[in-house]
Amino acid sequence: MNVKLLILFTIGTLLLITGLTSAEEVKERCKVCHGDIYSFLQEGKHRIHDCSLCHGDSIKQLEEHMSNPKKTKPSIKPLEEGPKFCGQCHQKYYEQYKDINWKSIAKIEKGTPVGRAPAFDLLLYRYGFVFEHAEPRSHVFMLLDHVIVDRGYKGRFRLKDYKLFVPPKDWDGEITQLIVDTKKENIYAGRSDVKDLKPWTAGAGSTICLQCKTSDMLVGWETISKGGNKTGYAKFMRWGNAKTQELIAEGKIRRPINCVHCHDPHFAKMRVVRDALIEAIKKFGPFPYDKEKNEKAMKKLRIVAFPAVKNNYREVIIWDAEEKDPKLNWLTCAQCHVEYECNPVTDIKTDKKLKHEEDPRTNIFGWHNVREIYDYYTKEVGIYTFKHGITKAKLIKAQHPEVEVWWESKHEKANVDCIDCHMPEIDGIKFHSPRSPQDIGVDKVCLKCHTDWTVEQANYVIESIQEYIKGKMRDAEFHLSRLVNMIKLAEQLGVDEKKLEEARELHARAHILWEWWTAENSDGFHDPDEAWLTLGEASRLAEKGWRMLEEEIKKKMEELEAKVEKAPAVEVPKPEKPVVPPPPEEKKPPEKVPPPVEKKPICGPSAIIAIALLPLILYRLLWRRR
C-alpha cells in the first residue's frame, strides 16, 4: 500500500471511530461556515479529500472547533509541518525541493573585485545592502540566508557553527535548529568591542521582506486592497525590523516558502499569493508590454477573495497549470523575482520617511521595464528608496528584476518562460529546485531547442554573452564613480546649486540603469540587447554629469583666481615694538672663595728614606756587572 492510500485509509478509520462517518460528512459540516472554501475544494483534484486531512491535529480537535469555532482553532498542517506534509503524497517533488545546489556557494559578496558589482560600496553608500549583499543559493536556503545576513537583523541571528553552511541530512529549510539568537543567549556578554562592531550591520529586514522568504505568514497576511491591516483579521501586519526580529526569535517564522506558495491546496491549481503582485496584475496585467498577450492572459486568470467568515481579508490569483496560450506558470516566480519596494521608502516631495504600517507604498511592485521604472516610482508613485550618502541624489535601489528583463526578450517572444529554463522535466516531473541551466546541465535545457549545439558550444555562448555584459557594467561603474566624486568636489568648491541638482538627477537616472543589471541574476543573459543599450545609456548620462561638473569646477577655479588677482594689495603695517621695561636687576650671590690650598713640604718622610738608600742601590747594580 502506498503512502497516499495509507493516509486516506487511516483518516477514514478515524472518521468512523469518531462518528464523522465519511469525508463528505466532514465537508458538509465545514461547509456551514466555510461555504466558499468548500466550493473551491470541489473544483480541484483534492476534492476526494476531506478537510481533516490538512486541518486539525486530530479529529477531536476538529470536532472541538466545530463545537466552538472561536475557542479552538484547528492547525494548518501544510504550514505547521512544512513541505514534508505535502511530500507524504508528492514524494518526488519533496525530494527535489530539498535538493541542494552545491555549485551555488554561500556568502558570495557582490561588492568584491570578482563580484557582480565591484564598485557597489561606493555607488550605494551607505544603504543597508553595503553591509552584506551576498548572492542567492538554492530555494531551500532562502529564509536561512535572509535571517543571518549582516544587513538584515543587525547581526542578531547567526549560524550556531560555520560548518552548518552544510546543513544536516534531509534538511527541509527549518531554521531554528541551525541559528542562535545572540541577544537571547547573551553571546557577546563581556565583549567591550561589540558596541563598535554593531554599526557594521544593518536592520533592513521587515515582515514585508518575509513575504518572499517564507510561507509561514501566508494565511495571516491581509491583502493590500483590503486596506492593509485595516480589517482586524490579519495575524501579521506590515511591521518594521524590531517586531520582525521578535517573530523570528519566537520561532513563528521557521521555514522558507513551500508548496502552498505556488500551488493552491483547495483548487489544486497554480496560484499567486503575494499581495503586491496581485495589485500589480490588477493594474497592469501580466504582460504590460504586449497588449494582445495581456488581454488573453487576463481572461485566463481568476482573482479569488476569502475566507468569507473573516471578511474576505485575503486574495489569491489562480489559473490552470496546463495553460499554454499564453503560458502563466511563470507568475509564481514573479512573486519574488521582480523589482519591488519593501522598505520604509521616502516621499519624494516631502522627504518624509514612510512607515510600513501606515503607507502601502512600502509594499509595492514596480512592474515596469528598466527604461520606465525611475519615472514610475518618482513621478507616479512619488517615492525614492534612499539618498546617496555622498552626492545626496535620490536613488532607486533595484532588487532582482528577472521577470521585467524577460519581458520583450527573445525567449519571451518565443513563448519560453522561467519554468522551461530553470525547472525542466527531470525524473518525470518539473524539477522543483530551480537553478541556472548550466547548473542543471545545458543538455537538459538549452539543447532541447538549440539542437545544433553541443554542450560545450552552449556553455561557450552563455559565458561569452555574460562576459560581454560584465564589461558594460564595469564601464558604467567607472563613469558613475567619477560622477560621485565630482559632485562632492563641486559641492566643496561652491558650484551653483542648480548645477549640482542637475548632476544629482543624472546620477539618479544613470544609477538605476546600471544597478538594474547588477541586481538581476543572469549577468544580462536574459536580454543582452537591452542590457547593452541601457548600460550604455547609464555610462552616457554619468559621463554627461561629470563632464558638466568638470567645466563648472574649472569656471569656479578661474573665478576664484581672478578674485585673487584683482584684489588690491594691502600693506600690512608692521606692529610697533612694545616698550618693555628692563627686568629688575637680580642681586648676584657673593662669589664663593675656594679655601686656601695647604702647602705641603717638598720632602716628606718617604722622600728622605728613598734618598738615603740611593747609594746602596747604585752599589748593588755596579757589583752585579762585575
pLDDT of residue 585: 67
pLDDT digits (tens, 9 = 90+) for 297-331: 999 999 999 999 999 999 999 999 999 999 999 99
Question: Which stretches in the chain have pLDDT values below 50?
Answer: 1, 4-5, 7-9, 11-21
pLDDT of residue 435: 96
pLDDT digits (tens, 9 = 90+) for 238-270: 899 999 999 999 999 999 999 999 999 999 999
| Grid cell locating 602 | 717638598
Distance CA 258, CA 213 (A): 10
Q: Which domain holds residue 8?
A: 3-75
Opening angle at CA 41, ends 35 and 47, nearest 5: 130
Structural domain includes residue 19: yes
Closest residue by Cα to residue 24 from 6, 42, 45? 42
Structural domain includes residue 607: no
Opening angle at CA 422, ends 421 and 428, nearest 5: 90
Structural domain includes residue 30: yes
Structural domain includes residue 39: yes
Structural domain includes residue 71: yes
Closest residue by Cα to residue 51 from 16, 27, 69? 27
Q: SS3 helix, strand, coil % of the chain, rounded to 5? A: 50, 5, 45
pLDDT of residue 568: 80
**Which strand (E) or helix (H) includes residue 6?**
helix 3-18
Structural domain includes residue 9: yes
pLDDT of residue 279: 97
Q: Which residues contact 337 (CB under 8 A, 6 or more apart)?
A: 400, 401, 402, 403, 418, 521
Structural domain includes residue 11: yes
Q: Which residues contact 562 (CB under 8 A, 6 or more apart)?
A: none
CB-CB contact of 37 with 305 (8 Å): no
CB-CB contact of 310 with 376 (8 Å): no
Q: What is the 3-state secondary structure (H, E, C) of 502-519?
A: HHHHHHHHHHHHHHHHHH
Strands (E), 394-542: 394-395, 425-426, 429-430
Structural domain includes residue 33: yes
Largest CA distance in the chain: 157
Question: Can you give the pTM of this predicted structure?
Answer: 0.87
Task: Compute how many other C-beta atoms are within 10 angstroms of the C-beta atom of residue 541.
Answer: 22
pLDDT of residue 16: 41
Distance CA 172, CA 82 (A): 8
pLDDT of residue 1: 40
- What is the count of structural domains for the chain? 1
